[in-house]
Structure 1
Amino acid sequence: KRGFVNGVLTVILPFIFMATVNYSKDPQIETEEEEEEGKKKETFLGSVTFAVVFATIIHSFITQPFGIPTGSMERTLLVGDFLFVNKWAYGYRMPMRPVALPFLQGTIFDTGQQGNPKDDPKSYVDAVKLPYLRIPGYDEIERYDIVVFNYPQDSVHVATDRKDPYVKRCVGISGDVIEFRDGRLFVNNAPEKILGDEYQQHKYVVKASSQLDIPQLYKAYGFMPVREGQNDQGFIYEFQGLTNEVAKDFKNIPGVVDIKEDVMEKGASDIAYFPIKNAGELVRDQFGNALLSKKIDTTNCIYPINKKWNQDQYGPLKIPKKGDVVKLDQETLPQYQWIISEYEHNKLENKGGKIFVNGQETNQYTIKQNYYM
């Protein structure tokens, strides 16, 4: 007997199944032609099955491919690039949702509202859960390493291994003090180190009396993320990733009236707020940006909500190191609450101005692992 079901029964119940086949009342005899045809099918299905199983093992336990969807790492990693990530260098993380479709990260496909993954079918079974466990690696994360990690505050997926993967460069290791001043990075009170032939890139706002030829600019300077808007005075462009040299060149482009680096002011809080909706649709400005309400979206806040920090004015912040004892009060709690509750899996409560960790009132906490930025 051939076929998938019969093969499974032969493996699980070999003696019972083979006895049933051999002593059945109506045995089926294969001709040589039927036997040869069956072997061909088994060879093809076996090859496909082996390929899928082998690729799944490599993908899950050794190395995983990632595509670059955005331009945040432009001039190092380009949009559309593919890279393979070594899962063992910094320590292999055991799967937390092991029952899943192979080669898929979080969702299967977009079935609900376009661009909203919260209502899309998941590629894994959320009911089968394993605790977080990482096997020690053979290397340490160092400054300027390019790393792939799961976005900590993914609002769709709870399991760490199913959150959206991000590709970034590590600029600070455990114990470093990180600070942004007017959009410039400082590590341990020193300007960031520029490696090799790299250039700093910044956001610039360009005002023009006439529409710019963006495809021609791409040919001259390479791909640059840009947003275009228009008002009574002409066109406004928001360019991401311009070097100072390219910004100087832009001043000489016909039609350009003004170009200025876009730097958020010191003391301006960059807190995530829920968007304003009208009849279920987002209300947007001239650039297509969603207008925001005054209700804080704590799920998507990457800055402490009680700090006046933003993407250009940030810190100083010491990156926590294993063994550090940090003070806990109402001022410092927003800075450490995710570490305590989400990353180090403690029960954290803030009741009546008092802080409790695993049911015990405390005013300090000992960091259990190293962190990086």
Structure 2
Amino acid sequence: MLTTLPKPETKARKTKTPFREWFDSIVFAVVAATLIRWLFFSAFVIPTPSMENSLLVGDYLFVSRLHYGTTTPVTPLQVPLTHQTIWGTSIPSYLDWIKLPQYRLPGFTDVKNGDVVVFYLPVEHPDMYQKYSNVLPDLHPHPTDLRSNYIKRCVGIPGDKLEVRLGQVYVNGQVQAAPVRMQNEYFVSVKTAVNEENVFHKNGIVDYAQFTETFGDSIAANDEAGYVVKTTDALAEKLKTYDFVKRVQPVWMEKGLKEPFLFPASDAADWNKDNYGPITVPKAGMTVPLTEVNIALYGDIIRNFDGNENVVVEKNKITIGGKQLTNYTFKQDYYFMMGDNRHDSADSRYWGFVPKDHIVGKAVFVWMSIDPNPTSFLKKIRWDRVFRMI
């Protein structure tokens, strides 16, 4: 006689509550966004005019971390999708109780001359930020991977001999092509009063000021009226065509005129932002004698970024572990960065070299651009800059 066996009892599948589904979705989105932001690319916004007119205040960028290879986190105890502080507050978003060694994953290219690069600001090192407060007054110490993100153009790669002569960059003795939209300072001498809206604003010139004696007598005669403007070479040439313009002259600091707060802080270097160097950008394996000038140039990176301990830097000597060095061999590569707005950029000319372990990624394209001071609501978005390659 056949009998039917009872079916095994099955537990009913528990249905997730709406709150649980919402919570799981949020966790998944945060984890995915964190991984993408760390491994592939990050979004940044331009807050200052130091890269004008190549990049404008209000440009939103995608920065590729894949180009140079992404770096592993140094400070793992931080709130996801934050940087330095929790959104909208001054509360730190991290704890530095744990610090991990940094590694760089393989990339598919190296930083090249002319690349627009995002990097961590090295002078936010705890032993350096006070020294450079005159140049960057809002500096605060942070761990390596949580220092402020800066964006500049790389003008010197490891091993390059770099010099600036009247605003023109020379690398290894060869003149370097200026970026297409690079901005310089000009004196525009005028015969009559100027309609600033029609002349400057319509040409995209937003940084200008009427000439006064505070600019010095080297660019104009005492009875000459005009403006000091920051603009591109192409727009400077266009200004020359106006019938009320007498002349347009570049404004340069004279060679030998020492500029305060310039890097390095040494009486042996009478440099300024327009006439700078020559200097050699450190390269891993390169050895330099520790002269007074070289100590001023390389002392900070030997002490803070090259993996040394017990380093004492003085004006005329460097000691490591109590032993005085006569020369030094660098352990990692460094870079020299400059903004495209050459007279309004706090860059390597003022605070020195960028270590390779501070490189974040390569700026690829502008995905949105919002004018912070539009002439009308309809002009709030700069449509001509959307999806512009860098």
State whether TM-score is above 0.5. Answer: yes
Structure 2 CA distance for partners of 1:311 and 1:254, relative to 1, 3 Å: same
Specify the SS of the correspondent of 2:303. helix
Structure 2 CA distance for partners of 1:229 and 1:182, relative to 1, 3 Å: closer
Cα deviation, residue 207, structure 1: 5.6
Are 1:124 and 2:87 counterparts? no
Are 1:343 and 2:343 counterparts? no
Specify the SS of the correspondent of 1:72. helix
Listed as ranges, the gaps of 5+ residues in structure 1 are 1-31, 112-119, 273-300
In structure 1, the partner of 2:47 is 69
In structure 1, the partner of 2:63 is 85
Structure 1 stretch displaced more, 66-75 or 176-185 = 66-75
Matches within 5 A, 1:245-324: 245-251=234-240, 253=242, 259-272=248-261, 301-306=262-267, 307-324=269-286
Specify the SS of the correspondent of 1:130. coil
Cα deviation, residue 336, structure 1: 0.6
Structure 2 CA distance for partners of 1:106 and 1:363, relative to 1, 3 Å: same
Specify the SS of the correspondent of 2:328. strand
Higher relative contact order (CA 8 A, sep 6+): 2
Structure 1 stretch displaced more, 231-240 or 214-223 = 231-240
Listed as ranges, the gaps of 5+ residues in structure 2 are 1-12, 130-139, 215-222, 337-390
Structure 2 CA distance for partners of 1:127 and 1:223, relative to 1, 3 Å: farther
CA deviations 1:3-44 (Å, max 9, x no partner) are xxxxxxxxxxxxxxxxxxxxxxxxxxxxx9xx87x6222112
Contact 2:53/2:181 (8 A) holds in 1: no
Are 1:58 and 2:47 counterparts? no
Between Structure 1 and Structure 2, whose CA radius of gyration is higher? 1
Contact 2:121/2:147 (8 A) holds in 1: yes
Q: 1:214 & 1:193 partners in 2: Cα distance?
A: 31
Q: 2:115 & 2:314 partners in 1: Cα distance?
A: 40
Structure 2 CA distance for partners of 1:349 and 1:211, relative to 1, 3 Å: farther
Matches within 5 A, 1:211-226: 212-217=194-199, 219-226=201-208
Contact 1:204/1:242 (8 A) holds in 2: no
Are 1:363 and 2:326 counterparts? yes
Contact 1:337/1:348 (8 A) holds in 2: no
Cα deviation, residue 218, structure 1: 5.0
Q: 1:214 & 1:366 partners in 2: Cα distance?
A: 55
Are 1:101 and 2:62 counterparts? no
CA deviations 1:56-77 (Å, max 9, x no partner) are 2211233211112233333433
Specify the SS of the correspondent of 1:147. strand
Quote the sequence identity (%): 32
Specify the SS of the correspondent of 1:43. helix
Q: 1:210 & 1:106 partners in 2: Cα distance?
A: 51
CA deviations 1:284-329 (Å, max 9, x no partner) are xxxxxxxxxxxxxxxxx53343311111001111212211111113
> Superposition RMSD on alpha carbons, in Å?
3.2
In structure 2, the partner of 1:160 is 144
One-letter amino acid of the counterpart of residue 145, structure 2: D
In structure 1, the partner of 2:170 is 186
Q: 1:207 & 1:124 partners in 2: Cα distance?
A: 53
Structure 2 CA distance for partners of 1:69 and 1:185, relative to 1, 3 Å: same
In structure 2, the partner of 1:8 is none
Q: 1:331 & 1:219 partners in 2: Cα distance?
A: 45
Cα deviation, residue 183, structure 1: 0.9
Q: 1:109 & 1:247 partners in 2: Cα distance?
A: 42
Cα deviation, residue 95, structure 1: 1.8
Among 146, 155, 159, the alignment partner of 1:175 is 159
When normalised by structure 2's length, the TM-score is 0.67
For these two proteins, the number of residue pairs brought into alignment is 300
Specify the SS of the correspondent of 1:372. strand
